[in-house]
Structure 1
């Protein structure tokens, strides 16, 4: 889906009128609610009025970028439908709420991190670990390169990072809700 100038202008107009992302997506056609939310974010359009407020009510503040983003914190965005008054009309709109939850880190005893062979893209084979290390735009970017078992793209250490058993995912989801 291409965002033409006229579609972006229509998005801005509908957003300013207080329509929800789902309503805007339906009016634009051929675009999802998430695409609308992403475009609104990239355009840095102002947030929505708080529930029960008026047009002059304070806009929702931008997300706190100084919130801790360490591995022991989990961020989750939920969507809620609220009703607010605009003149004599009651409007329903969807707002996004970000919650940050502290997660407990439990080390797994003696974990041995393998020493990377620091292979480049052209040096990889079917039997080497293809776990990327570092920033691809930097000169020190490389792949793990350790031996990978069977037909796996990763060594046994990176398999544990990449593939999480289903029961652990369910436990993490249950804790988050």
Structure 2
């Protein structure tokens, strides 16, 4: 496409009318980006933003997002974390004649109890698991391998041998 004096004059006229760059492009049978680029090179006055703004010019104040401090993942330390009481089965008293287990149900609103005594928290060593996918993602049978991973690798030994293949030296192929 070549910018002739006639096309430039038409661009200036449509620009002064306040048409959008897309509309100018349609009328001149060129792309919107061509219009924007040529208008910039011709140093035409800036267009008002197509985004609707408040007439008063004041920007609506939004509260700043809260900054997260500390770790974003749950701690690995075992601490006295409250755990909701869930329904569970308890054994019948030893002196009772009944051998059927009694079922205790949770109250309507779970109460919180400490899962461990409030002793000094200790770190739990978490062994990295193999991330090799098994099955078709999105199906109920999909899972990851889960075997202990090699140090510094996301996979166990058998899957690392599949994933990390050494590139053969081309000189070995020369006869």
Regarding TM over 0.5, the answer is: no
Q: Whose helix proportion is higher, 1 or 2?
A: 1
- In our comparison, the structure showing a higher alpha carbon Rg is 2
TM-score when normalising by structure 2: 0.29
